[in-house]
Structure 1
Amino acid sequence: MSSKIELLAPGGDIDAIKAAIIAGADAVYCGLDTFNARNRAANISFDQLVGIIRLAHHYQCQIFLTLNIVILEREFKSLTKLLSKLANTTLDGVIVQDIGLLYVLKKYFPTLDVHASTQLTTHNVGQIPFLKKLGVSRVNLSRELNLREITAITAVGNEQNVLSEVFVHGSLCVAFSGLCYSTSASVGNSGNRGRCSQACREEYETTPSGNNFPLNVKDNSAFFDLPALIEAGVHSFKVEGRIKGASYVHTVIDSFRKQIDGFVKTGELLEDGERLYKVFNRDLTNGFLKGDLNQNMFIENPRDNSKYHAIDKSNAISVVQIHEVEENLSNEKQQINTTVFDKIKHLSIEKRPLTLTFTGAVGSPLTLTVVTTDYAAGKTTDEEQTIVVHSNNLLLASDKNSIDKEAVEKRFKSFNNSHFNLTELNLDGIPEGVSIPFKDLTVLKNELAALLNSNTAVIPEVTLPKLARHPKSTENTKANLSILICDDTDLDLTKVTDADIYFKLPDAYKRGCTKYVDFFNDNPRLIPWFPSVLIGKDYDVALNILEQVKPELIVTNNTGIANRAFELGIKWIAGPFLNTTNSYALLAMKEELDCAGAFISNEINNQQMKTIARPENFKMLYSIYHPILLMTSRQCFFQQSVGCEKPRIDNGCMLSCDKSTSITNLKGVSFAIDKQKAGYPSIYNNDQFLNMEIINDLTKLFDGFMIDLTNIGAGDKQSPDKTTLIKLFEQLLVQEGGELSEQLNAQTTLLDMVPESTNTQYHKGL
């Protein structure tokens, strides 16, 4: 049996990282105080990162840095400076969500190993080659997948030389990661920027089924499923928990280390997992992994469940018994804390002290003796490391051009940096009246820098070239209207407008479904619109539609479909749920996969859009009217809200269920729960997104504006007349003089027809 199984630990702060290392983690992922998706974690500074890498490598542990948020245009300058610094460390990998950042890493920082974050929602086999084209070496798979699906994706990953990574323990999002906009739309805290406010853990008004925390799912644990994951070919077992402390991290990692090692050695699971209940948990479930999506995956307690587990296990009944159990658990937790901090207190991430001593004489080379020590093991090593470097040329006697000691000091004091603490720069060994060319000093400095950088030449800082801003492909300044529908009863709308009409395909299909092949062949004007999530057989059917119909153009929110469209030579447009927020994402999709255009994310604001540079012959699009999706889930929202007679989701639920209801938070704000036939359960904002301002503000930037007429997310609200909506939006888009009164009338009428609307995100942004 292979022992090459990586245990990947979370590190939210320095103590947690040390605890993970000493507990036996093969790798730790952590974030700096910027550009990472756990803003609530303590996180670390760059100087601390350098020390952490050195400490981890001393214990044969790798360090991965999280850069797993969407990136704004203005941030690439500072981000590139950071990447230039990272490229000169021995960092083992970066974890990325943003497609534009993937492009920059592949093109300008090829020495950095790149991992795809779970925020990229990787859940089908077509997404692996898509990410491979963008330079990804490993992929963190969506948490919603079952073992069969993981096995299939991992097999394709092995063919593509892309490693797979699966979460085996920790908190579960009820929503698909990367596709949750709940707190972005409601309070401006975007999960795609690391500021999730955890609406799924909030208390709501008691639902008809009697629940106050209807979105709160138990924690994930595959502690007893490790053999199946090993059999599936998974490379890395990842533990969630970057906002958890050192005691939690050490306990969980140590438990998994013993379980993995025991199984590899004996072929049996030897650990009972009880230690996992001694630290924070919301009770544990493996429902997603087993493909058993049942009511027991939810729990009414969003906080620590360890006390209740201990009470249940002890069968305590009386007040005295319960108090005794609680007291014992508290003592155990205190003992865990004491033990962990005793283990890590001597581990140092301090900078390595460095002394530079220059010596020489006429007729001999300038000699630089470097002494440094290593604190990684928790104490100074017995033997100091000494490096001796000589200049290429000999020192010459010179009264006029003697070595400028201030110039030497100025050049070499840069070694007082994130890696080293320059404690001494001694120039006393250089006699008066000797000279050496300054270029020799530069060579000497570069040679030393390489030796101190693991014998690797220092990579110069990268400056991204200025992006070309290409105009629209047409001279017409007017932006075109496009329409999204999802029901064949809306085909009559093709008779009332010349606008492009997208037809939204379902998330799920009966196996072998072919009706949409005939449908698109019979209605060639319709442009197929592929959804974000297409898992297993549903991806296979969607792929068959694409391959059989071979339309001239599609819109896709799924990167697996995008990759296949590219392979077939079909023009494709990136949908709004690919979270496109910067120019480099446009370049990535155009240059690597021949993308024809993209919808710009509705999460960014007016000013953030203005800075995006259009590639040549590329369309930029934007949705100006649609329901505001808060989250999409593979789990059922109705079991915990209005109740359902089925204890678990079966294959028929996706295809046949079309319920709708709402939940209301304690502030009195209601959210619509909507489940379309063949669609995933979703939650929507009470307001519709309606942005008429952008038409006047940014028409020169965009080729087209879309309106969503699918009725999805409307719940039991009466939808406005679709023909009237189309005519009103067409009037808004007319730019010729003399039409201002019609535009104003159209705006007033639209506000009357859509009274519950907002465009707050257009002003707030990310």
Structure 2
Amino acid sequence: MMKSVELLAPAGNMIALHAAVSAGADAVYLGASSFNARRSADNFTLETLREACDYAHLRGVKVYLTVNTIILPSELYDALELVRQAYRAGVDAFIVQDLGLAQEIARTIPQTRVHISTQMNTHTKDALVAEAALGAKRVTLARELSLTEVADLSHFAAELGMETECFAHGALCVCYSGQCFMSSMVGGRSANRGMCAQACRLPYELRNRALRKSLDAPGEHLLSPKDLCTAEILPDLIRAGVSSLKVEGRMKSPEYVSCVVRIYRSVLDRFNAWASAQLEDGVSEENFDWANAPRATAEEIQELSEAFSRGFTTAYLEGERGNEIMSYARPNNRGSFAGRIANVKGSRIEIDPAFPLVAGDVLEFWTNKGNIIHEIDALETLPGGRVVLKIEKPLGKGDRVFRVRSAEAAFHDVAGEPRIPLLIRVKMHIGHPLELALATPDPWDAARKVEIFVEGAPIEPARTKAVSAEEVIEHIDRLGSTPFKLDHIEVELDEGVGIGFSALHKIRAQACEQLEEALLARYHERVLEKAPSRVFAPRIRKGSCKVAVLATNPACARAAKRAGADFIYVPVHNYRRGEAIIAGQLSQTAEQAGYPKGCIPVLPVVAHDGDSAARNGFDVWKRVQEDKPVLVQNLGQIVHARELGAQVEVGPYVPLTNRLDMQLAHDLGATRIWLSSELTLRQIEELGEVSPVPLGATIMGYTELMVTEHCLLMSQGPCNRDCAQCARRKSSHYLKDRKGYELPVITDVLGRSHLYNAVELDVAHAVPDLVAAGVSALMVDTTLMNVEQVSKKVARAVRARDIALKSGDKVSRADGTTTGHLFRGVS
């Protein structure tokens, strides 16, 4: 028998939760007022969370709470207390980003489930091994994976005793989740804190730095992906082995949630019926006729697009990485293509519709002077199907028409509130107590029934009019204010029985209340046992402070050494011959053999398991050696590097932001932690007071804001996908935003793009404060610098370090730079 795949729906508020449950969700995910990645949604208080859990659980629907933000030092107690209270309220699982918090939940509440958030950027088997060790039971996979990769990871996760979850529908981030710092650095609103300002949906120009001109593109929204829709490939996702299909949309309306969940429920139900029939016919799952498995119909796709759509894509699931994923033309809802204007005669607009239009539909006309919205109040249909509207707007022949809201869909009647079927037995025998028995299937065990039995006052003979069985049924069936509905009733009634109807109402209410409590007992009777005290390793003693340099070519590495750098770090991409980067531009002339001895390799933030085989034979682990240092950039790399016997330094893109994280890094064998760019000086001080691992901080350079699977240079047009030989990479590019800021773009040998801040970070003047806070290594990131700039910047860092250690003095603040979040923090 095939395992049942869960349909997981978003619930930004109670109305959306009701809509999701009514539409057929198996589980919902929601957030509290803090520590969730959608803080702008209505979200839930502890009181409304209990109400939500009871409502869902009575109907056999699970509830998952998102605690999917980084947890700062001062927030750790509150985050853990929220988890404890939410568990008591009935939450079935916690969706978590913070590594230390995930491990602590699994340790202190072993009877609950930890689900790893997509914010943890899981895209390798090594990451799955690490997450299983943390105590996770499910992992939400990165959205940048192919179906083949999803299948490989899902099968491997199953071997580790974990499930996988995959996004099936909704908005896509252009950046790998958990790795976006654009909203944070540009506007102070951190995506890792649930406050993303969606800077990716704004207009940009791609420009060539040498030409100083804008390059042609199909639109101006160069960072805006289409929306994910897998309704037509659901059988392929199921075949890949995922356990849960997730709908994005905690910021969307209840109507949107209802529509999307209802359609995916329908497709899943049709698939399950088809699969069951195949199995009954003796066909094994491996031999299913997968090509003909049920998928969404054209009508269902159209309805989905009208609920909300920037245009649909299956993202990377089917192996595409090009422009077909992007919505360059517009970043918001585009609805369904409804046709083109066939003729214009004054205010008389004739349209050849792609499907029937009706009064109440809302149309959007795309003209060369902007878009025009119009709600149809009346229309005329001509022979042949052409429709005529009267619109007093400047429209032209050939303009495209989209339906962004369907009047019929707006009034679609989803089958009301789901109610729980009751089997009722009533016994009314004179001289014996009134008996009422209620039974209903256990929502968590279909083979079991939950039953309750209630007795009332003794039955007496009627003094005037006797009660009929029909009257008993009519009054017992008054269940409107309860979550129940009558499925079947049996009444044993002596002749001549008399009883007041209020007595029937009272026993019915009492029985329903007891049955409701019996159904929820497994949640309401939860007890939290006291967990063993956590033992923390002692704080590391402060040592000497070193200056480190991230260099992307041999010439800059040598210049950094001459300027006094203690350590040189080199991204493994740039070790490859022909892959040196100078001032953000691919250089074919840099002498690869010229790197100084003892350089420390830096692994990429993203490195899929199949990269070495599929992408130019590039092996990111080639330079990792036993007993030698390596800087890793994700959780899985920590595990693998330790298996190779390397000395592991954890990079700033692994968000370690509280004491639990520090301890976890220590337990994993980390020799240094490079701190997140989103921490303030005060927060660094708090970590320095407890960290058992030496700390490092980046003090100069351009902060990487995004790493994207989609190559941003492809907006110029299609390419041959030979990233190693790409001519475009030999030029320096940047995105120009609407305020005139220039954000540098680099695409690496594997075709992934890296977007950098327009303003350089420089906190060299704060080195005395950082050293006092416990920082013992200072990084200068020279990725976008030339040799002369490297020499000056490194010399400045060395001088800042030296005078800070010698006298406590500080260098002057650099003009035209930013201090990042060191003093302003993030919201």
TM over 0.5: yes
SS at 2:330 equivalent: coil
Aligned partner of 2:672 in structure 1 is: 597
Alpha-carbon deviations, 1:46-99, whole Å to 9, x = none?
A: 211112222222222111110100011111222222222123233211001111
TM-aligned CA deviation for residue 256 of structure 1: 1.0
- Measure the CA separation in 2 of the matches of 1:655 and 1:260: 45
Q: Judge which range, 192-201 or 52-61, deviates more.
A: 52-61
Q: Look up the match of 2:766.
A: 694
RMSD over aligned Cα atoms: 3.7
Bigger shift: 322-331 or 563-572? 322-331
Q: How many Å separate the matches in 1 of 2:530 and 2:678?
A: 31
Contact 1:55/1:376 (<8 A) preserved: no
783, 789, 794: which one pairs with 1:721?
Answer: 789
Q: Which residue of 2 aligns with 1:550?
A: 626
SS of 1:290's partner is: coil
Q: Which letter maps to 2:330?
A: N
668, 676, 680: which is aligned to 2:752? 680
* Cα distance in structure 2, aligned partners of 1:645 and 1:119: 30
Shift of 1:665: 2.5
Please state how far the C-alpha of 1:571 moved relative to its aligned partner. 2.3
Question: 1 CA distance for matches of 2:817 and 2:480?
Answer: 59
Q: Which residue of 2 aligns with 1:319?
A: 349
Matched residue, 2:26: 26
Residue matched to 1:573: 649
Gaps of 5+ in 1: 348-368, 384-423, 425-447, 511-518
After superposition, the Cα gap between the structure-2 partners of 1:270 and 1:195, relative to the gap in structure 1 and judged at 3 Å, is: closer
Find out whether 1:253 has 2:231 as its counterpart: no
CA–CA distance in structure 2, aligned partners of residues 655 and 223 of structure 1: 38
Deviation readout 1:333-366 (Å, 9 max, x if unpaired): 454444457724999xxxxxxxxxxxxxxxxxxx
Cα deviation, residue 154, structure 1: 1.5
Higher relative helix content: 1
Residues 26 and 522 of structure 1: CA distance in aligned 2, closer, same or farther (over 3 Å): same
Change (3 A) 1:90 1:377: farther
CA 1:35/1:645 → structure 2, altered by over 3 Å: closer, same or farther?
Answer: closer
| Inter-partner Cα distance in structure 1 for 2:149 and 2:575 | 15
Give TM-score scaled by structure 2 length. 0.72
Q: What's the counterpart of residue 756 of structure 1?
A: 816
Q: Secondary structure at the match of 1:722?
A: helix
Which residue is equivalent to 2:390? none
Cα distance in structure 2, aligned partners of 1:536 and 1:465: 35
1:144–1:738 distance in 2 versus 1, CA, 3 Å: closer
Out of 231, 240, 245, the residue aligned to residue 237 of structure 1 is: 245
8 Å CA contact 2:37, 2:68 repeated in 1: yes
SS at match of 2:670: coil
Native 8 Å contact 2:554 2:596 kept in 1:
no
Kindly provide the CA deviation profile for residues 261-308 of structure 1, in whole angstroms up to 9, marking residues without a partner as x.
2123226225312221221111101141111122222221212111x5
* Alpha carbons 2:689, 2:774 under 8 Å: kept: no
1:609 aligns to 2:684 (yes or no): yes
Q: 2:417, 2:812 → 1: CA distance?
A: 64
Q: Which residue of 2 aligns with 1:635?
A: 710
Displacement of 1:243 in angstroms is 0.7
Question: Which residue of 1 is the match for residue 608 of structure 2?
Answer: 535
Distance 2:138 2:415 in 1: 35
Partner of 2:80: 80
Partner residue, 1:479: 545
Deviation at 1:556, TM superposition (A): 0.5
TM-score by length of 1: 0.77
CA distance in 1 between partners of 2:8 and 2:600 (Å): 43
1:186-585 aligned within 5 A: 186-204=186-204, 207-210=214-217, 211-266=219-274, 268-272=293-297, 273-299=301-327, 300-306=329-335, 308-311=336-339, 319-321=349-351, 325=357, 327=359, 329-330=361-362, 333-339=406-412, 343-344=416-417, 379=482, 454=523, 456=525, 458-459=527-528, 470-472=539-541, 476=543, 478-492=544-558, 493-494=560-561, 497=564, 499-506=566-573, 525-538=598-611, 542=619, 544-545=621-622, 549-585=625-661
Other-structure match for 1:359: none
CA spacing shift, 1:132–1:655, aligned 2, 3 Å: farther
**1:665 and 2:737 matched:** yes
**CA distance in 2: counterparts of 1:599 and 1:295, whole angstroms:** 35
Q: How far apart, in 2, do the equivalents of 1:654 and 1:147 lie?
A: 26
Alignment of 1:615-626 (within 5 A): 617-626=692-701
Higher strand share goes to which structure?
A: 2
CA shift in 2, pair 1:539/1:461, >3 Å: farther
* TM-aligned CA distance change 1:283 to 1:451, over 3 Å: closer
Q: What aligned pairs does 1:57-96 form with structure 2 within 5 A after superposition?
A: 57-96=57-96
- The residue type equivalent to 2:652 in the other structure is P
Counterparts of 2:88 and 2:566, CA distance in 1: 52
CA distance in 2, matches of 1:636, 1:16: 36
Secondary structure in 2 aligned to 1:278? helix
Distance 1:461 1:333 in 2: 54
CA distances 1:577-636 after superposition (whole Å, capped 9, x unpaired): 112211111112222x22222111111111122222555752111111121112111112
Which secondary structure state, in structure 1, belongs to the residue aligned with residue 416 of structure 2?
helix
Aligned counterparts of 1:561 and 1:315: Cα–Cα separation in 2: 58
- Corresponding residue for 1:117? 117
1:142 aligns with 2:142: yes
Structure 2 distance, partners of 1:623, 1:122, is: 25
Q: Give yes or no for the alignment of 1:587 onto 2:663.
A: yes
Change in Cα spacing, 1:508 to 1:127, as seen in structure 2 (3 Å) is farther
Instruction: Give the match's secondary structure for 1:103.
Output: helix
CA spacing shift, 1:2–1:382, aligned 2, 3 Å: closer
Distance 1:496 1:663, change over 3 A: closer
Match of 1:441 in 2: none
How many percent identity over aligned positions? Answer: 24
Classify 1:316/1:653 alpha carbon distance in 2 versus 1 (closer, same or farther; 3 Å): farther
CA contact (8 A) 1:115 1:136 kept: yes
The one-letter amino acid paired with 2:302 is E
Partner amino acid, structure 2, of 1:501? I
What corresponds to 1:101 in structure 2? 101
Q: Per the alignment, in what secondary structure is the counterpart of residue 714 of structure 2?
A: coil
1:734 match: secondary structure: helix
The residue identity in structure 2 corresponding to 1:229 is L
SS of the aligned residue for 2:706 comes to strand
Shifted more, 626-635 versus 692-701: the winner is 692-701
Aligned residue number for residue 734 of structure 1: 802
Between the aligned partners of 1:684 and 1:128, the Cα distance in structure 2 is 29
Partner AA of 1:253 in structure 2 = V
Q: Indicate how the Cα distance of structure 1 residues 252 and 561 shifts in structure 2: closer, same or farther if over 3 A, else same.
A: same
State the partner residue of 2:425: none
- The number of aligned residues is 651
Contact 1:281 1:304 in 2 (8 A): yes
Cα deviations by residue, 1:238-260 (Å, 9 ceiling, x for unpaired): 11111111111111111111112
Amino acid of the structure 2 residue aligned with 1:675: T
Alignment check: 8 A CA contact 2:555 2:594 kept:
no
CA distance in 1: counterparts of 2:48 and 2:555, whole angstroms: 60
1:463–1:612 distance in 2 versus 1, CA, 3 Å: farther
3-state SS of the aligned residue for 1:87? Answer: helix
